[in-house]
Protein backbone atom coordinates (compact mmCIF):
# COMPACT_ATOMS: atom_id res chain seq x y z
CA UNK A 1 0.00 0.00 0.00
CA UNK A 2 1.06 3.60 -0.49
CA UNK A 3 2.88 4.88 2.57
CA UNK A 4 0.80 8.07 2.63
CA UNK A 5 -2.04 6.10 4.13
CA UNK A 6 0.05 5.16 7.09
CA UNK A 7 2.02 8.27 8.00
CA UNK A 8 1.47 12.02 7.94
CA UNK A 9 -1.17 14.71 7.77
CA UNK A 10 -4.35 14.44 5.77
CA UNK A 11 -6.93 17.20 5.72
CA UNK A 12 -10.72 16.93 5.74
CA UNK A 13 -11.59 19.56 3.16
CA UNK A 14 -14.48 21.98 3.60
CA UNK A 15 -16.85 22.65 0.71
CA UNK A 16 -16.83 26.44 0.16
CA UNK A 17 -20.20 27.98 -0.67
CA UNK A 18 -21.01 31.37 -2.09
CA UNK A 19 -23.53 33.57 -0.28
CA UNK A 20 -26.28 32.04 -2.43
CA UNK A 21 -25.15 28.58 -1.18
CA UNK A 22 -23.86 27.40 -4.56
CA UNK A 23 -20.44 25.76 -4.55
CA UNK A 24 -17.63 28.30 -4.83
CA UNK A 25 -15.34 26.50 -7.25
CA UNK A 26 -12.78 29.30 -7.31
CA UNK A 27 -12.45 29.23 -3.53
CA UNK A 28 -12.24 25.43 -3.60
CA UNK A 29 -9.36 25.59 -6.07
CA UNK A 30 -7.63 28.16 -3.87
CA UNK A 31 -8.07 25.88 -0.85
CA UNK A 32 -6.61 22.88 -2.65
CA UNK A 33 -3.57 24.86 -3.78
CA UNK A 34 -3.11 26.21 -0.25
CA UNK A 35 -3.11 22.66 1.12
CA UNK A 36 -0.76 21.23 -1.52
CA UNK A 37 1.65 24.15 -1.19
CA UNK A 38 1.50 23.63 2.58
CA UNK A 39 3.04 20.17 2.13
CA UNK A 40 0.10 18.17 3.45
CA UNK A 41 0.43 14.47 2.78
CA UNK A 42 -3.07 13.78 1.42
CA UNK A 43 -6.51 15.32 0.99
CA UNK A 44 -9.85 13.86 2.10
CA UNK A 45 -12.93 14.85 0.14
CA UNK A 46 -16.53 14.75 1.33
CA UNK A 47 -16.20 13.91 4.96
CA UNK A 48 -18.47 15.56 7.51
CA UNK A 49 -16.28 18.69 7.36
CA UNK A 50 -17.25 18.97 3.69
CA UNK A 51 -20.92 19.12 4.73
CA UNK A 52 -21.52 15.87 2.88
CA UNK A 53 -25.09 15.40 4.24
CA UNK A 54 -26.10 18.67 2.55
CA UNK A 55 -24.45 17.97 -0.82
CA UNK A 56 -26.64 16.76 -3.68
CA UNK A 57 -25.76 13.68 -5.72
CA UNK A 58 -24.94 15.84 -8.76
CA UNK A 59 -22.74 18.14 -6.70
CA UNK A 60 -20.94 15.17 -5.16
CA UNK A 61 -20.16 13.75 -8.59
CA UNK A 62 -18.88 17.15 -9.73
CA UNK A 63 -16.73 17.55 -6.62
CA UNK A 64 -15.21 14.08 -7.04
CA UNK A 65 -14.25 14.67 -10.66
CA UNK A 66 -13.19 18.29 -10.18
CA UNK A 67 -10.90 17.46 -7.26
CA UNK A 68 -9.18 14.61 -9.07
CA UNK A 69 -8.61 16.81 -12.13
CA UNK A 70 -7.43 19.77 -10.07
CA UNK A 71 -4.99 17.74 -8.00
CA UNK A 72 -3.82 15.80 -11.06
CA UNK A 73 -1.69 13.35 -9.12
CA UNK A 74 0.18 15.99 -7.12
CA UNK A 75 -1.24 14.71 -3.84
CA UNK A 76 -2.97 11.45 -2.85
CA UNK A 77 -6.75 11.61 -2.46
CA UNK A 78 -9.14 9.83 -0.11
CA UNK A 79 -12.88 9.90 -0.71
CA UNK A 80 -15.47 9.86 2.05
CA UNK A 81 -18.25 7.37 1.28
CA UNK A 82 -20.41 6.09 4.10
CA UNK A 83 -23.96 5.66 5.33
CA UNK A 84 -26.26 3.62 7.50
CA UNK A 85 -27.46 1.20 4.82
CA UNK A 86 -24.76 -1.29 3.93
CA UNK A 87 -26.18 -2.14 0.53
CA UNK A 88 -26.54 1.54 -0.40
CA UNK A 89 -22.92 2.23 0.60
CA UNK A 90 -21.70 -0.73 -1.46
CA UNK A 91 -23.80 0.48 -4.40
CA UNK A 92 -22.34 3.97 -4.07
CA UNK A 93 -18.78 2.64 -4.07
CA UNK A 94 -19.45 0.49 -7.13
CA UNK A 95 -21.06 3.34 -9.08
CA UNK A 96 -18.74 6.22 -8.17
CA UNK A 97 -15.95 7.46 -10.42
CA UNK A 98 -12.93 6.63 -8.27
CA UNK A 99 -10.28 7.60 -10.82
CA UNK A 100 -7.56 9.56 -9.07
CA UNK A 101 -8.42 8.31 -5.56
CA UNK A 102 -6.30 5.98 -3.46
CA UNK A 103 -8.65 4.97 -0.63
CA UNK A 104 -12.15 5.31 0.81
CA UNK A 105 -12.88 6.69 4.26
CA UNK A 106 -16.13 5.17 5.49
CA UNK A 107 -17.85 6.20 8.70
CA UNK A 108 -19.35 3.70 11.10
CA UNK A 109 -23.10 3.38 10.36
CA UNK A 110 -24.99 6.04 12.27
CA UNK A 111 -28.43 6.57 13.83
CA UNK A 112 -29.64 2.97 13.58
CA UNK A 113 -26.91 2.01 16.09
CA UNK A 114 -25.83 -1.47 14.97
CA UNK A 115 -24.22 -3.83 17.45
CA UNK A 116 -20.58 -4.83 17.05
CA UNK A 117 -21.44 -7.91 14.99
CA UNK A 118 -23.42 -5.73 12.57
CA UNK A 119 -20.53 -3.27 12.28
CA UNK A 120 -18.12 -6.09 11.46
CA UNK A 121 -20.47 -7.48 8.80
CA UNK A 122 -21.03 -3.99 7.35
CA UNK A 123 -17.35 -3.24 6.87
CA UNK A 124 -16.53 -6.77 5.73
CA UNK A 125 -19.08 -6.57 2.92
CA UNK A 126 -17.83 -3.11 1.96
CA UNK A 127 -14.19 -4.16 1.97
CA UNK A 128 -14.97 -7.32 -0.01
CA UNK A 129 -16.69 -5.28 -2.75
CA UNK A 130 -14.55 -2.12 -2.84
CA UNK A 131 -11.92 -1.65 -5.56
CA UNK A 132 -10.04 0.68 -3.18
CA UNK A 133 -8.75 0.03 0.34
CA UNK A 134 -10.98 1.10 3.22
CA UNK A 135 -10.17 3.37 6.16
CA UNK A 136 -12.55 2.86 9.08
CA UNK A 137 -13.91 5.97 10.79
CA UNK A 138 -14.96 5.76 14.43
CA UNK A 139 -16.68 8.93 15.66
CA UNK A 140 -19.26 7.93 18.29
CA UNK A 141 -20.11 11.55 19.09
CA UNK A 142 -21.72 11.73 15.64
CA UNK A 143 -22.81 8.14 15.00
CA UNK A 144 -24.20 7.20 18.40
CA UNK A 145 -22.19 3.98 18.57
CA UNK A 146 -18.56 3.23 19.38
CA UNK A 147 -16.54 0.71 17.41
CA UNK A 148 -14.70 -1.08 20.18
CA UNK A 149 -11.01 -1.86 20.04
CA UNK A 150 -11.89 -5.54 19.64
CA UNK A 151 -14.13 -4.78 16.65
CA UNK A 152 -11.51 -2.61 14.97
CA UNK A 153 -8.79 -5.19 15.54
CA UNK A 154 -11.03 -7.88 14.04
CA UNK A 155 -11.61 -5.72 10.96
CA UNK A 156 -7.88 -4.92 10.77
CA UNK A 157 -7.30 -8.53 9.70
CA UNK A 158 -9.18 -7.91 6.42
CA UNK A 159 -6.62 -7.36 3.63
CA UNK A 160 -8.61 -4.45 2.16
CA UNK A 161 -9.01 -2.55 5.45
CA UNK A 162 -5.81 -0.63 6.04
CA UNK A 163 -6.39 1.93 8.79
CA UNK A 164 -8.82 3.51 11.21
CA UNK A 165 -9.54 7.18 11.78
CA UNK A 166 -10.15 7.25 15.53
CA UNK A 167 -12.21 10.13 16.91
CA UNK A 168 -13.63 8.46 20.01
CA UNK A 169 -11.48 10.54 22.35
CA UNK A 170 -10.75 7.34 24.27
CA UNK A 171 -6.96 7.23 24.56
CA UNK A 172 -6.99 3.81 26.26
CA UNK A 173 -9.01 2.36 23.36
CA UNK A 174 -6.56 3.85 20.87
CA UNK A 175 -3.55 2.51 22.75
CA UNK A 176 -5.12 -0.96 22.76
CA UNK A 177 -5.51 -0.80 18.98
CA UNK A 178 -1.96 0.51 18.45
CA UNK A 179 -0.49 -2.16 20.72
CA UNK A 180 -2.33 -5.09 19.12
CA UNK A 181 -2.86 -4.10 15.48
CA UNK A 182 -1.33 -5.97 12.52
CA UNK A 183 1.80 -4.41 11.05
CA UNK A 184 -0.02 -3.31 7.88
CA UNK A 185 -2.85 -1.51 9.73
CA UNK A 186 -2.52 1.99 11.17
CA UNK A 187 -4.39 4.25 13.58
CA UNK A 188 -4.99 7.82 12.38
CA UNK A 189 -6.06 10.56 14.77
CA UNK A 190 -9.47 12.07 14.10
CA UNK A 191 -9.08 14.81 16.72
CA UNK A 192 -6.78 17.75 16.02
CA UNK A 193 -6.16 18.52 19.68
CA UNK A 194 -5.16 14.90 20.44
CA UNK A 195 -2.96 14.39 17.39
CA UNK A 196 0.36 15.03 19.12
CA UNK A 197 -0.45 12.63 21.94
CA UNK A 198 -1.80 9.91 19.66
CA UNK A 199 1.16 10.16 17.27
CA UNK A 200 3.63 10.08 20.17
CA UNK A 201 1.89 6.92 21.41
CA UNK A 202 2.39 5.19 18.07
CA UNK A 203 -0.35 6.58 15.84
CA UNK A 204 0.41 7.39 12.24
CA UNK A 205 -0.74 11.00 12.00
CA UNK A 206 -4.07 12.70 11.50
CA UNK A 207 -6.96 13.50 9.23
CA UNK A 208 -7.26 17.10 10.32
CA UNK A 209 -9.60 20.07 10.07
CA UNK A 210 -7.24 22.81 11.30
CA UNK A 211 -4.49 21.73 8.87
CA UNK A 212 -6.27 23.43 5.96
CA UNK A 213 -5.78 26.74 7.76
CA UNK A 214 -2.19 26.15 8.95
CA UNK A 215 -0.87 23.36 6.71
CA UNK A 216 2.87 24.04 7.16
CA UNK A 217 2.62 24.27 10.94
CA UNK A 218 0.42 21.27 11.57
CA UNK A 219 2.12 18.92 9.12
CA UNK A 220 5.50 19.88 10.59
CA UNK A 221 4.23 19.04 14.08
CA UNK A 222 3.12 15.61 12.88
CA UNK A 223 6.38 14.97 11.01
CA UNK A 224 8.46 15.80 14.08
CA UNK A 225 6.29 13.58 16.29
CA UNK A 226 6.64 10.72 13.82
CA UNK A 227 10.41 11.27 13.71
CA UNK A 228 10.64 11.08 17.50
CA UNK A 229 11.48 14.78 17.91
CA UNK A 230 9.03 15.00 20.77
CA UNK A 231 10.19 18.26 22.35
CA UNK A 232 9.98 20.13 19.04
CA UNK A 233 6.62 18.56 18.19
CA UNK A 234 5.27 19.43 21.64
CA UNK A 235 6.16 23.10 21.15
CA UNK A 236 4.27 23.20 17.85
CA UNK A 237 1.35 21.33 19.42
CA UNK A 238 0.85 23.85 22.19
CA UNK A 239 1.19 26.78 19.81
CA UNK A 240 -1.84 25.60 17.81
CA UNK A 241 -3.84 23.96 20.64
CA UNK A 242 -6.16 26.91 21.25
CA UNK A 243 -7.02 27.04 17.55
CA UNK A 244 -7.69 23.30 17.51
CA UNK A 245 -10.16 23.67 20.36
CA UNK A 246 -12.00 26.84 19.38
CA UNK A 247 -12.79 25.85 15.78
CA UNK A 248 -15.16 23.21 17.18
CA UNK A 249 -16.69 25.38 19.94
CA UNK A 250 -19.89 26.15 18.03
CA UNK A 251 -20.16 23.35 15.50
CA UNK A 252 -18.05 22.29 12.57
CA UNK A 253 -17.18 23.41 9.93
CA UNK A 254 -18.45 26.83 11.01
CA UNK A 255 -15.28 27.60 12.96
CA UNK A 256 -12.80 26.64 10.26
CA UNK A 257 -14.83 28.44 7.58
CA UNK A 258 -14.77 31.60 9.71
CA UNK A 259 -10.97 31.55 9.88
CA UNK A 260 -10.42 30.51 6.27
CA UNK A 261 -12.49 33.54 5.30
CA UNK A 262 -10.01 35.67 7.28
CA UNK A 263 -7.20 34.51 4.98
CA UNK A 264 -9.23 35.03 1.82
CA UNK A 265 -10.48 31.50 1.17
CA UNK A 266 -14.24 31.40 0.72
CA UNK A 267 -17.25 32.83 2.49
CA UNK A 268 -18.45 31.73 5.94
CA UNK A 269 -21.62 30.29 4.36
CA UNK A 270 -22.94 26.93 5.54
CA UNK A 271 -26.02 24.99 4.48
CA UNK A 272 -28.82 24.38 6.94
CA UNK A 273 -29.20 22.88 9.42
CA UNK A 274 -25.67 24.16 10.10
CA UNK A 275 -25.36 27.82 10.96
CA UNK A 276 -22.54 30.33 11.35
CA UNK A 277 -20.71 30.52 14.66
CA UNK A 278 -22.16 32.83 17.29
CA UNK A 279 -20.59 36.17 18.17
CA UNK A 280 -18.81 34.89 21.26
CA UNK A 281 -17.18 32.05 19.31
CA UNK A 282 -16.28 34.40 16.45
CA UNK A 283 -14.44 36.64 18.91
CA UNK A 284 -12.68 33.64 20.45
CA UNK A 285 -11.66 32.41 17.00
CA UNK A 286 -10.17 35.76 16.07
CA UNK A 287 -8.35 36.06 19.40
CA UNK A 288 -6.84 32.57 19.02
CA UNK A 289 -5.84 33.36 15.43
CA UNK A 290 -4.13 36.60 16.51
CA UNK A 291 -2.23 34.81 19.29
CA UNK A 292 -1.14 32.06 16.91
CA UNK A 293 0.36 34.64 14.57
CA UNK A 294 2.32 36.51 17.25
Alpha carbon 71 to its chain centroid, in Å, reads: 17
pLDDT greater than 70 at residue 6:
no
| Beta strands, E only, 152-196 | 161-166, 186-189
Q: Are 36 and 68 in contact (CB under 8 A)?
A: no
The pLDDT value given to residue 1: 44
Domain boundaries of the chain, sorted by first residue: 3-237
Q: CA-to-CA distance for 61 and 70, rounded, in angstroms?
A: 14
Average pLDDT over residues 122-137: 97
Q: What is the 3-state secondary structure (H, E, C) of the chain?
A: CCHHHCCEEEEECCCCECCCCCECHHHHHHHHHHHHHCCCCEEEECCHHHCHHHCCHHHHHHHHHHHHHHHCCCCCEEEECCCCCHHHHHHHHHCCCCCCCCEEEEECCCCCCCCHHHHHHHHHHHHHHCCCCEEEEECHHHHCCCCCHHHHHHHCCCCCEEEEEECCCCHHHHHHHHHHCCCCCEEEECCHHHHHHHHHCCCCEEEECHHHCCHHHHHHHHHHHHCCCHHHHHHHHHHHHHHHHHCCECECCHHHHHHHHHCCCCCCCCCCCCCCCCHHHHHHHHHHHHHHCC
- Per the annotation, the verdict on 165 as an active-site residue is yes
Alpha carbon 61 to its chain centroid, in Å, reads: 19
Average pLDDT over residues 173-191: 96
Nearest to 10 by CA among 278, 189, 206, 170: 206
Q: CA-to-CA distance for 230 and 265, rounded, in angstroms?
A: 32
Geometric angle at alpha carbon 39, from 11 and 184, rounded to 5°: 65
- Per the annotation, the verdict on 137 as an active-site residue is yes
C-alpha pair distances (Å), 233 with each of 71, 132, 282: 29, 32, 28
The pLDDT value given to residue 3: 47
pLDDT greater than 70 at residue 5:
no
The pLDDT value given to residue 209: 98
Pick the residue with more confidence: 262 or 6? 262
pLDDT greater than 60 at residue 207:
yes
Residues 130-140 have pLDDT tens digits of 999 999 999 99
Active-site residue, from 42, 137, 181, 224: 137
Nearest to 86 by CA among 118, 58, 116, 117: 118
pLDDT greater than 80 at residue 291:
yes
Following CA atoms 195, 200, 202, 205 in sequence, which dihedral angle do they give, to the nearest 10 degrees?
30
Whether the bond into 273 is cis, omega within 30 of 0: yes
Q: CA-to-CA distance for 282 and 279, rounded, in angstroms?
A: 5
Average pLDDT score over the chain: 95
- Whether domain 3-237 has CATH 3.40.50.460: the reply is no
* Prediction pTM value: 0.95
Residues 55-86 have pLDDT tens digits of 999 999 999 999 999 999 999 999 999 999 99
Active-site residue, from 101, 165, 224, 257: 165
The pLDDT value given to residue 7: 84
Nearest to 207 by CA among 187, 183, 232, 177: 187
Residues 81-120 have pLDDT tens digits of 999 999 999 999 999 999 999 999 999 999 999 999 999 9
Q: Are 139 and 147 in contact (CB under 8 A)?
A: no
Amino acid sequence: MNKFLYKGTGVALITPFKKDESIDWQAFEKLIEHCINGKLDYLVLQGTTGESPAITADERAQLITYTAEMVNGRCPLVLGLGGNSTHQVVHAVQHTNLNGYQAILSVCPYYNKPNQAGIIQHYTMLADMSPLPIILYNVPGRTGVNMTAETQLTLAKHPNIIATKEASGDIEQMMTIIKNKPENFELISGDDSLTFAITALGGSGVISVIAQLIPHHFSEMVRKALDGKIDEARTLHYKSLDLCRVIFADGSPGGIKHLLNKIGIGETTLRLPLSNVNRQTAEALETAWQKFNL
